[in-house]
Structure 1
Amino acid sequence: MVRTRSDHLLYSLEELLPYDFEKFKFKLQNTSLEKEHTRIPRGQLQTAEPVKLASLLVNHYGEEYAVQLTLQVLRAINQHLLAEELHQLISPETNHSYRLG
C-alpha cells in the first residue's frame, strides 16, 4: 500500500512527545499563513489528538499545504530531525518542492 502525504503527516504528529505536541498546536495557532488560508479554530485545536489534528490540517488546508505548514511548525519548535524525516518521506511525491530551511 502506497502511503500518502496525509499518512506521513500523521506519522510525524504521532512521533511528537505530549509536551512537544502541545507546543506544535500552540505554534500552529500563532504561525503566519498564506493569504488565502484561515486558522483552524482554537477550540478544535485544543482538544485535538494526533489523528484528529492530521484530519483537521488536511481538511482545512488541503494535503499539500498541510504538509508544508507542518514542516514549518516542526522547524519552529526545533523538531528539525522529524521535519527532515517528513521532508524525505514526501520528497519523492513532490519532486523536492519542500525545502528545509
Structure 2
Amino acid sequence: MGKTLRDHIECALDDLQESSLKKFKRKLNEVEVEAGFNQIPRGQLERADVIDIADKIVNYYREEYGLRLTLIILEEINEKKVADKLQAATGTGDRPLPPQIPGAGGSGSGAGNAGGSGSGAG
C-alpha cells in the first residue's frame, strides 16, 4: 500500500522546523480558499501538531486541493526545498505550481482561483 497525498503532506510538514511550522499554520489560517471550501478555524490550528494539521488540511480541502495549498504556502514561507521534495514525492514536480492565492501574502498578482474554472465549486 503506497503513501496517500495526506501522508506526503504530513511528511513535508514534519520536515519543517518549529518556527517554519508556526509560519505555515499562520499562513494556512490567512489564505483565501476557493469557493466551496471553508478556512480551518484558528483555534484548531494553534495547538495542532503535524499529524493534526495534515488531517485538517485533507478534511477541510480534500487531498488534491490540500496538496496545492500546502505547496503554495511552503513557497510563501520560503521553504522551497520542502516544497520541491513534496512535489517530487507526489509526482507533481513536472507541473508548475498554480497561481498564487490572493491573501497568501508575498508579492503579487495571483489569480483568484488556483486551478479552478471560476465561480462555482461544489
- Other-structure match for 2:74: 74
Question: Which structure 1 residue ranges, 5 or more long, are not aligned?
Answer: none
Q: What is the TM-score when the length of structure 1 is the normalising length?
A: 0.89
- Other-structure match for 2:97: 100
Cα deviation per residue 1:59-100 (whole Å; 9 max; x = unaligned)? 111111111110010000000111011011111xx695x523
Distance in 2 (alpha carbons) for counterparts of 1:11 and 1:95: 16
Q: Which has the higher contact order (CA 8 A, sep 6+)?
A: 1
Please identify the structure whose Cα radius of gyration is greater: 2
RMSD: 1.7
* Pairing 1:1-101 to 2, within 5 Å after superposition: 1-91=1-91, 96=94, 98-100=95-97
Aligned residues: 98
Identical aligned pairs, as a percentage? 37
Question: Which structure 2 residue ranges, 5 or more long, are not aligned?
Answer: 99-122
C-alpha distance 43-4 of structure 1, shift in aligned 2 (>3 A): same
Distance in 1 (alpha carbons) for counterparts of 2:96 and 2:47: 30
Query: Which of the pair is proportionally richer in helix?
Result: 1
